[in-house]
Amino acid sequence: MQLAKRGWAFARILFGLFFIYAPLMVIIQFNGQNPPETVAAASDFALALDRTGFMNPLIIATMLAGGVALLFQRSAPMGLILLGPSIVVIAGFHWFLTGKFVWGSVWPIWFSLLVWHNRRIFARLWNPDQRQP
């Protein structure tokens, strides 16, 4: 039982660390712009996000907040909620624009496993009268 708890904690923290690392690298290495893409459709999408002037800072802030929240068990469900839209965009980006199906599938699968692990907490969103045991 203790090994399972540690495994879930490791998976949660590693997932959170990636979502802290990735936006920081975009800020540091690419000056807040999306990294260059080799596929034309992916490049067009990234350029459109860059040109809005507000999407990249919003995505970066959301990923950082979600990643930091995942570092702590108490705030992990909020981190998952914050990262949900980004996970969908990451998956769609890689499935439909870059053709990197494995890389695009890793994140929603990992995310789904973490959400499933926290399903009792999320159940309260639909049944607010349910008391925590």
CA distance 87 to 98: 15
How do residues 89-114 score in pLDDT, each as one tens digit?
A: 999 999 999 999 999 999 999 999 99
Q: List alpha helices for 53-118, DSSP H.
A: 55-70, 76-92, 101-117
Rounded to an integer, the average pLDDT of 65-85 is 97
38 three-class SS: coil
Please give the structure tokens belonging to residue 84: 């949900």
Query: Is pTM, for the whole model, over 0.85?
Result: yes
pLDDT of residue 11: 97
Q: How many CB atoms lie within 10 A of CB 81?
A: 15
User: What ranges do the domains of the chain cover?
Assistant: 2-126
Average pLDDT of every residue of the chain: 92
Q: Are 58 and 41 in contact (CB under 8 A)?
A: no
DSSP-assigned letter for residue 27: H
Torsion angle defined by CA atoms of residues 104, 46, 58 and 51, in that order, rounded to the nearest 10 degrees: -170
pLDDT of residue 132: 57
